Amino acid sequence: MKMNFYKYLFIILLSVLSLKSECQTEHINGISLFFPGYLHEIPIFNQLTARLQLGIMPQIQQSKNIETGINGYLSGLASFSFRNYYNHNSRQNRGKNTSLNSADYVSIMTQYITPPVVFYDNACKCIDFEGDRISRAEEEKEDIMQGLLLGVNWGIQRNFSQKFSVDLNIGPAYSLKSKDFTFLANLTLLIFLNQNSNNYW
């Protein structure tokens, strides 16, 4: 209950800050390359957007038995966030590019990572699809990141052309599965499918 209160308080704060901006965020559709999948972002207020990402998340983990190498996993990823691009005005005043939400931001996000559906076991040089518990990677898959995470982060998004964008964000998150805090750093490479200079609403 207490966490929900802080979540709503943060969203309200982002909304109030957005009302002070004269710049307009834009509607984005794109294909994510680092976490292969689809990304959709829509404006809510001048600087505030809602962003949805669906994709596949590769994870690599050192085995508990160092001599046998690493395990590789593929999980499903669904991420939803509210973003406040807080320096839209200052970037525009300095003549910087702000199209397609090219700015710095703070956000509140929720992210769900499915249990792994495919893994690579370096010890047996094999790929398994949720088979029998016969390999080391199968035994150790419970240790990888999965479940629902709630967090806040700071990020930077820069567009190098009308078709390509790089997005990097970092911040703390709380895992509802492990009941513990962790630190997330996400890199998104995005190819735009289309652009719309008008407000989504």
**Could you report the per-residue pLDDT of 12-35, keeping only the tens digit for each?**
555 555 445 455 788 889 999 888
Phi and psi for 4 in degrees, rounded to 5?
-60, -40
In which domain, by residue range, is 150 found?
A: 2-196
Q: Identify the residue with better confidence: 36 or 72.
A: 36
Is-contact 146 115, C-beta < 8 A?
A: yes
- Tokens 């370096």 appear where? 122
Is-contact 158 187, C-beta < 8 A?
A: no
Is-contact 108 7, C-beta < 8 A?
A: yes
Asked if pLDDT for residue 68 goes beyond 70, the answer is no
- pLDDT category of residue 133 using cuts at 50, 70 and 90: very low
Is-contact 29 171, C-beta < 8 A?
A: no
The number of distinct structural domains making up the chain is: 1
The SS3 of residue 141 is helix
Which amino acid is residue 119, in one-letter code? Answer: F
Beta pairing partners, 150: 110, 174
d(Cα 95, Cα 39) in Å, to the nearest integer? 27
- pLDDT category of residue 193 using cuts at 50, 70 and 90: confident
Task: Note whether residue 28 is domain-resident.
Answer: yes
Task: Output the domain CATH number for residue 131.
Answer: 2.40.160
Q: Is the pTM of this model over 0.85?
A: no
- pLDDT category of residue 10 using cuts at 50, 70 and 90: low
Task: Note whether residue 73 is domain-resident.
Answer: yes
Task: Note whether residue 201 is domain-resident.
Answer: no
- Tokens 């964008």 appear where? 165
d(Cα 11, Cα 20) in Å, to the nearest integer? 15
- pLDDT category of residue 119 using cuts at 50, 70 and 90: confident
Task: Return the half-sphere exposure (C-beta side, CA atoms, 13 A cut-off) of residue 198.
Answer: 2
d(Cα 161, Cα 185) in Å, to the nearest integer? 24
Six token digits for residue 1: 């209950």
Asked if pLDDT for residue 75 goes beyond 70, the answer is yes
Which amino acid is residue 148, in one-letter code? Answer: L
Is-contact 55 87, C-beta < 8 A?
A: no
Task: Note whether residue 15 is domain-resident.
Answer: yes
d(Cα 194, Cα 104) in Å, to the nearest integer? 21
d(Cα 160, Cα 46) in Å, to the nearest integer? 22
Task: Note whether residue 65 is domain-resident.
Answer: yes
